[in-house]
A and B are shown apart, each in its own frame.
Chain A
Amino acid sequence: MGLINKESVKKKMGSRVAANGFAKFLFILATSFSLIVLGVLIYRILVEGLPYLSLDFITNFASRMPERAGIWAALVGTIWIMAVTAPVSFILGVGTAIYLEEYAKKNAFTKFVQVNIANLAGVPSIVFGLLGLTIFVRLAGLGSSVLAGGLTMSLLILPVIVVASQEAIRTVPREIREASFGMGATKWQTIRRIVFPAALPGILTGTILALSRAVGETAPLLVLGALAYVAFVPENLLSQFTVLPIQLYNWTSRPQEDFHMLAASGIIILLIILLIMNSIAVYIRNKFHKRF
């Protein structure tokens, strides 16, 4: 005399299992969707971009004639921007992370800094462009220069580097810090000689990933007034510049099909750069994974 009708449970079982099978099919379909999109995207870019891809394409300046156009100025501009952004964001980001993890007391100020960084990470990149335009370009009088662009980019990726560095520092076990203090090392000695080297692989991985994001960013530099058509490479930090994504934007927004193909060629170069940066980051991450 069970309260449960076993017959009906059995009857329903079939449809429940079928529902599970159907749902699984849908879930796989959704997951594959991303893979398919990635495949199509890369296929399209290769088809459109390979014809114009050549050594000349890399070493030529922009030109009105598609067959003569190249990305040299943009490529060099991107490297210039990175030369400013990488050291500035690394020093500020790691410094902030060390402060928060090692020195900061658990008080309202520290919490405020932490919340502030989380929120900065969610601010749209174009808003950083407006910040850079007002502060660096106009107030500081740097103009639409490499320095203004690089500093703006540094602030943009700062939260990413801070969070990644904090995580890396947190993985350094308490035990080895204690070992260092136990030998009479001061706090700074312990941080410099033990904590920082141990956290460095994680910090570098995070920094490289953040920089690869900066390499692909367009909007903030557009707002800063980076040039779209450049036939020279920057000579110093106060030179005007363009970067790869802006060059690609310029070509994409032209109606002629030939320029779209140029954009695709440039995208191939951009993706190769990002692929290299990401591979380095993954290599560092895997090589030094779980040492503790």
Chain B
Amino acid sequence: MDITINNQLVQKGKEKQDEFTPVFNINNLNLWYGQDHALKDIKFDIPEKQVTAIIGPSGCGKSTFIKTLNRMVEMVPIVRMSGEIVYREKNIFDPKYGVEELRTQVGMVFQKPNPFPKSIYDNVAYGPRIHGIKNKKVLDEVVEKSLRGAAIWDEVKDRLNENAYGLSGGQQQRLCIARCLAIEPDVILMDEPTSALDPISTLKVEELVQELKKDYSIVIVTHNMQQAARISDRTAFFLNGEVVEYTDTSTLFSNPSDKRTEDYITGRFG
């Protein structure tokens, strides 16, 4: 399905046209936590097989936004939403489109490494197993491939049956990425995946993201602007629940069109 559409982005002072295949089209997305209007009229498209970074000060709604993409945000009981999110031409809020099916396509890596209290092997095999794959040989293959894909295979291959809680924080996070890869999603959402990691582990995860974008579309929330600049192709700047600016990363950082973006990336607030 190779539809390239023209994505119109009207920005203050200038009009810019981008061409890419979108995996997500977000239209007029609004979200409230009770009375709190957390996301306001979000409207943009997320490209296939690129890294899209979401930046902004804490409380700007970036984390909330990424969780709407796989509907994890609905685990908060007081959430209300309006608007639409189209994933591969299907509205994800369509009752006929099961939330489990969506999450099988759109995987997620969380802020804090959250492996299951199980062996390394069982952690990675979890996804395939819940989706009905029981064949031991297939599982073995998937586990190895996913761990290799997450660049952690060499560190854990001799202790696959040990509990994942014995790994370091950085290893745990890469294990969580491997776990995500095991069901071969289409999109991987990453919610500040390096915020709990040391610099060396952070570097490893960043390198991994670069590697993964060959096969996956990646959306990454980060509080770290340098990280966004280093690894992403496109960047969206969120402020107070609104998208202030969304363009390719080099433009956003070198030549921001909005004053607020400039203030933020030059460190004047946030």
- Report which A residues bind B (CB closer than 8 A): 106, 173, 175-176, 178-186, 189, 193-194, 197-198, 291-292
Contact B100 A184 (CB under 8 A): yes
- Report which B residues bind A (CB closer than 8 A): 70, 72, 75, 77, 100-104, 107-108, 110, 112, 114-118, 126-127, 129-131, 165, 176, 179-180, 183
| Min CB gap B196→A, angstroms | 11
Contact B165 A193 (CB under 8 A): no
Contact B126 A182 (CB under 8 A): no
Among A182, A194, A198, point to the contact of B103 (Cβ < 8 A): A182
Which residues of A lie under 8 Å from residue B183 when comparing CB positions? Answer: 183-184
Find the residue from B102, B127, B129, B165 having the highest chain A CB count within 10 A. Answer: B127
Which residues of B lie under 8 Å from residue A184 when comparing CB positions? Answer: 100-104, 127, 130-131, 183
Which residues of A lie under 8 Å from residue B114 when comparing CB positions? Answer: 173, 175-176, 178-179
| Min CB gap B270→A, angstroms | 26
Contact A181 B75 (CB under 8 A): yes
Additional A-B contacts beyond A185-B100, A189-B130 (20; CB < 8 A): A176-B115, A176-B117, A178-B72, A178-B75, A179-B176, A180-B126, A181-B75, A181-B103, A183-B126, A183-B127, A183-B183, A184-B127, A185-B126, A185-B130, A186-B100, A193-B126, A197-B118, A198-B116, A291-B117, A292-B117
| Min CB gap B164→A, angstroms | 10
> With A and B bound together, what is the CA distance between A176 and B101 in angstroms?
19
> With A and B bound together, what is the CA distance between A189 and B108 in angstroms?
18
Contact B130 A181 (CB under 8 A): no
Nearest 8 pairs of A and B residues by beta carbon? A184-B104, A175-B114, A184-B103, A182-B108, A183-B127, A184-B100, A179-B114, A185-B130
| Min CB gap B219→A, angstroms | 13
Nearest B-chain residue to A192, judged by Cβ: B130
| Min CB gap A226→B, angstroms | 43
Contact A176 B112 (CB under 8 A): no
